[in-house]
Amino acid sequence: MNYEKWFQDCYVRLFGGKLTVGNAAVERVWDMTGARPEVLSLKDQRTGREWAATEERGQWVEFPPERKGAFFRASLTHGQMHLDGCEANEDDDFGTGVRHLRVTVRLTLPAKWSGSIWSIPFSPCCGAFLE
């Protein structure tokens, strides 16, 4: 499954099992091919500084050059994950927020799971939540 959508400087790309959501300020990348979503990168686009979550420390640390990935620290998966879909649309939280790009990712784990990720134009804000 390949997918790409843009809204102002905000974008989502899903190619080769990698999900990338970002804008001119921040970018976050997940590997969607394993047993669970795996965080690969959180990058400050303005400075080029990159961070990753380490399983050993359970916190965000600067990405050391010798480390090739990081683990999504959540116990919501057991067994194989399947990516069912990805779509993105402009959104403003029912008129209460700034227009932004909302990305919806649908997965099948042992149960169905849906999550939203959003990117606000020209802002270092990039958030996510489970539905």
Which pLDDT score is estimated for 8? 93
Mean pLDDT of 77-88: 78
- pLDDT at 32 exceeding the cut of 80: yes
Which pLDDT score is estimated for 121? 80
Instruction: Please tell me the distance from the alpha carbon of residue 19 to that of residue 35, in angstroms, as a whole number.
Output: 15
- Nearest one of 119, 112, 110 to 45, comparing CA atoms: 119
Domain with 51 in it: 3-130
Which pLDDT score is estimated for 18? 92
Q: How many independent structural domains does the chain possess?
A: 1
pLDDT in tens, 104-118: 888 887 667 777 777
How many alpha carbons lie under 13 Å from residue 47 in its C-beta half-sphere? 8
CB 49 within 8 A of CB 43: yes
Which pLDDT score is estimated for 33? 87
The whole model's pTM is what? 0.75
